[in-house]
Amino acid sequence: MTEEHSDALVFFGITGDLAYKQVIPALQAMAADGRLDVPIVGVAKSGWDLDQLKAHMRQSLQEHGGVDEAALTKLFARLQYIDGDYGDPTTFDRLRKALGAAARPLHYLAIPPSLFGSVAASLAESGCAKNARVVVEKPFGRDLASARELNHTLHQYFPESSIFRIDHYLGKEPVQNLLYFRFANSFLEPIWTRSWVETIQITMAESFGVQGRGRFYEETGAIRDVMQNHMLQVLALLTMEAPVGNDPDAVRDAKSLLVKSIRPLTPEDVVRGQFRGYRDEPGVAPDSPVETFAAVRLHIDTWRWSDVPIFIRVGKCLPITTTEVWAELKRPPQDMFHENVPIGANYYRFRLSPTVATALGARSKVPGEHMVGEDVELTVREHPGGGAPPYERLLGDAMEGDATLFAREDTVEAAWSVVDPILDNVTPAFEYDQNTWGPEEASGLVRDIGGWHNPAPPNVDA
């Protein structure tokens, strides 16, 4: 298949929550930039007509970024809507007719993974899959076995080069900056090894709970929701070797090799938690064992990272909302100034959200006649965040056939291999109070390195 631009966009699930909050604003932005000059076909079963869909889209924009009338007019001029059941062959016959002369459509499946196979089969049977690309939303499987089954199903109708597994986290500017900062600067490479790095911690904290999504969370939990995908992708960008070549698969090859080198977790490597009050949420079982917090200890079995302990912590109802990487460097071999400097004085810090910062922790002499120092932080760059929404970037890349920021089959399966041994409540979910950093039991994982680094609140110097 050539890397030609897709000449139509088909959106399955256009009336759903994901489209309402994320994708519709991205479509307007793409139309405003002139990057969406192709037919757009929405498909869903809502009992709506095209006018109702347009009203729904306008409401979405009013709540998520505002309406650009000129761009919305362009978008509506190209928009069609098919209201039909995904299990009804006539729905796909109507889709084939709506695509008209389009020969390279992009099909976006914002639908439950259980429907991927039947929709893919119907696309093939109706002729809509020929020369097409397909974007599938996470969760891509619930474990290693189901991920392999989904891959096998999709490969019956689409080659791997035409499958785009979307993880919106990879479209975020700060996450892309991890890759850029590492390989655009030569000063980091000599010390970015086991010889200089003492430990790495990644924290993804949310100060809110499940926000009415209790039923969904009961089926996922923190490990499936963000650990297996978002956090392992961030870790891969932090620790992978330099990509070889400039094609889209160069970065994905490097990430795949890294994820495959992560040692599978054991129950001794994980502490799960559940915030008090979770079981009172609508849709949550009164005796639910599902985790809203998870902390893990990881090991990467490569020459560069062997014996460097890596810790990832994710959770809801924690004190702040932020995502931060903390890479602590080893202390100098001698305490030359007899200060007994505590661990953690030298570090790299990457704040990924909601503010964005790249910083280096160091020691600097306090003015005066004595050789006494203080901890300082040298900020490379800090800004409020924002930038283009990730779905705008990822949709554009998928339509161009650029798979750099999408998860590949082998990487997805390797990530599931890491977490598979700790899924399905193999350890207790310890209760923790809201507005704390999780259950006290999680401190046991990091006892040997001096404890967790708790990120400072946004807009406050660390």
Residues catalogued as catalytic: 230
Q: What do you get for the CA distance between the two ends of the chain, in Å?
A: 49
φ, ψ dihedrals at 230, nearest 5°: -55, -55
